[in-house]
Structure 1
């Protein structure tokens, strides 16, 4: 039986974060910096610059996400944190139109990225990562967690299109649909208060 454990992404775990990001898909080139930059800044950045930004972010803390380990090996990644620091979100018109939450509320957190190494896909890592991310948000004082997943409608999709997570994963963890960014892209949220 596979054992999945999750740990916060801290400076001593930098190599494991990199291992999780570089197992297929866009994680190696994105370095999970996409949610942190406005589009013009993203377009102007290179992979080495993104890697340095991500390294600096993890070094400075607090942890911007969690790593999933399968039998002791880094296998997956999730980004979660306050929406206020994920600058792309408030500048994305579809999110601004779909959310009912003010963008200056530091107690509103967002899940913006999942990466699972190719050899570990289909083993429930996204669910384990999301569950741990929600626990981290709750323990850090978050009031609400938003996500912007893909509703696959049961069809097979390319892994690079699923980095936002799948709707079924969020619904299974208690999230509710609160709006729609565009067809097939709902906004989901989980209230942590109370």
Structure 2
């Protein structure tokens, strides 16, 4: 089974607040009720707790994003290319689940097939899951890429397939492209 991905690159920096505004406008045009599924902003304490849980500082752009909307209600229609945009709490729980599976040896005999710049691992503690597709797969922020990769790139991680796909060069590029993939 081959999983298709597109790789997004962003040449210039635009604020996350601007990108949220564009995304919210796209939701408004599609169906104003979709806006109700977005959570309130994460508090500074929620962001700090997530960083503490993960054992790493979050990139500024992700913190800005979460401080506008702390993900979405998992029961609402999923807005991020057919996936749930996870809250700080769900990110922490999902990351912990993957960590536990790795600690239990569940990935010991599994072999990843990464794109260039992505580590050949089934799971890394340096991957921060941002989305959930309902089947155990995620777009993750990659904080420790392989040679040729870029810290902060977005990768797609499947729970049952070894492909580790590079999706975007940066969080900003990935986030800015989301309005093009509303479901």
What is the TM-score with the length of structure 1 in the denominator?
A: 0.29
* Structure with the largest fraction of helix: 1
What is the TM-score with the length of structure 2 in the denominator?
A: 0.30
- Which protein has greater RCO, CA pairs closer than 8 Å, 6+ apart? 2
* Structure with the largest fraction of strand: 1
